[in-house]
Homo-oligomer: A and B are copies of this chain.
């Protein structure tokens, strides 16, 4: 995980350079993509008439492009069809850190901020690929088993894409880190791990007789980390990363 800028790293600028704690900053594709691919949920920021909006939504990556979707009626998407600057952020909370003084209370986390100009996917081939990827990226091969999308459904849904122009990852993974002299104090300190895990799958109560869970969903099993399930699914669908 090098901070050196090269063909496998995102360029840095005033925008994405990690300012504080720059030892926590990474720009290489491997680190940035790993954090992105471990998440289904992102937050997209955009501006309308000077007012920032921060919308949680689902997204996926294809190479150095990010995709997200929604109804054509959505305010966010309406705005972004004009080619708006956006910032798409993913954050994983990995622990709560209780230190020996207030200011060293912290958390372990992995986060990515990705910057670019969003555009509406209008190319029919790219849109067709997005219709499949929005399902298969998370559940590889699933689209083939589903009722086919109607022309109306496809028409009613917009996909937004963004080439990642700049991105940075920020990682803290060190638990308690107190000032040297504070370790001599009789104060309790700990790290509390936080994990996002899958519960037992709940089959739809209206399944027809004889319809059972496809083997392709085995990666989504009770107790698994959501991160791991999502990242494994990504590599099944996009074996070349």
Interface residues on A, range: 35 or more
Q: Mark out the residues of chain A between 55 and 107 whose CB falls within 8 Å of any chain B CB in the assembled complex.
A: 55-56, 58, 70-71, 73-75, 85-89, 91, 93, 95-96, 98-103, 105, 107
Q: B193 touching A199 by the CB < 8 A rule?
A: yes
A4: Cβ under 8 A from any B Cβ: no
A211: Cβ under 8 A from any B Cβ: yes
Q: A153 touching B103 by the CB < 8 A rule?
A: yes
Q: Digit string of A103-137 for contact with B (CB within 8 Å is 1, else 0)? A: 10101010101010000000000000001101100
Q: Mark out the residues of chain A between 226 and 241 whose CB falls within 8 Å of any chain B CB in the assembled complex.
A: 226
Q: A196 touching B199 by the CB < 8 A rule?
A: no
A195: Cβ under 8 A from any B Cβ: yes
Q: A190 touching B201 by the CB < 8 A rule?
A: yes
A167: Cβ under 8 A from any B Cβ: no
Apart from the given pairs A41-B93, A188-B204, A188-B217, 15 other A-B contacts in the complex at a CB distance below 8 Å? A20-B70, A40-B93, A40-B107, A43-B45, A45-B45, A47-B50, A54-B89, A98-B142, A99-B146, A145-B188, A175-B202, A184-B208, A188-B214, A193-B199, A194-B197
10 contacts between A and B (CB under 8 A): A40-B107, A43-B91, A45-B52, A53-B87, A54-B54, A101-B146, A101-B148, A102-B143, A103-B157, A176-B206
